[in-house]
Amino acid sequence: MPVRCNAVIFTHLLFDGGVNFNGAVPITNATGTFSVPIFSVYHSFGFLGRSANVTASLPYGVGTFQGELLQQHRQIYRSGLIDFAARFALNLKGGPRHVPS
């Protein structure tokens, strides 16, 4: 990737199905739907004569979970920010810094 390139990335993850507590809690018939949209930004640049890039991501989780606790049906909704993630990458071999014309 040439230096000084930017990208905005949107990713969406969807989880839907059963939840297994392995007998740790007295919840039965547990199911859930969990959606995670992730907004990321990417920037490439030159660093020590090599090409490098940094990516920062901010996910947001939305979930609905349900099951039976002591034979009573329960349902819960949760949403909020999930842990921020950042990544720095540097090409140590190959990929010398390239400045677009």
* pLDDT (mean) for 19-31: 82
pLDDT score for 100:
58
Using a 10 angstrom Cβ sphere, with 0-12 exposed, 13-18 middle and 19 or more buried, the burial of residue 40 is middle
Q: Is the pTM of this model over 0.85?
A: no
Q: How far is CA 75 from CA 40, 59, 68, in A?
A: 31, 23, 9
* pLDDT (mean) for 57-68: 96
* pLDDT (mean) for 29-42: 95
User: CA 101, CA 98: separation in Å to the nearest integer?
Assistant: 9
Token couple for 73: 């049906």
pLDDT band per the 50, 70, 90 thresholds, residue 14: very high
User: CA 101, CA 85: separation in Å to the nearest integer?
Assistant: 32
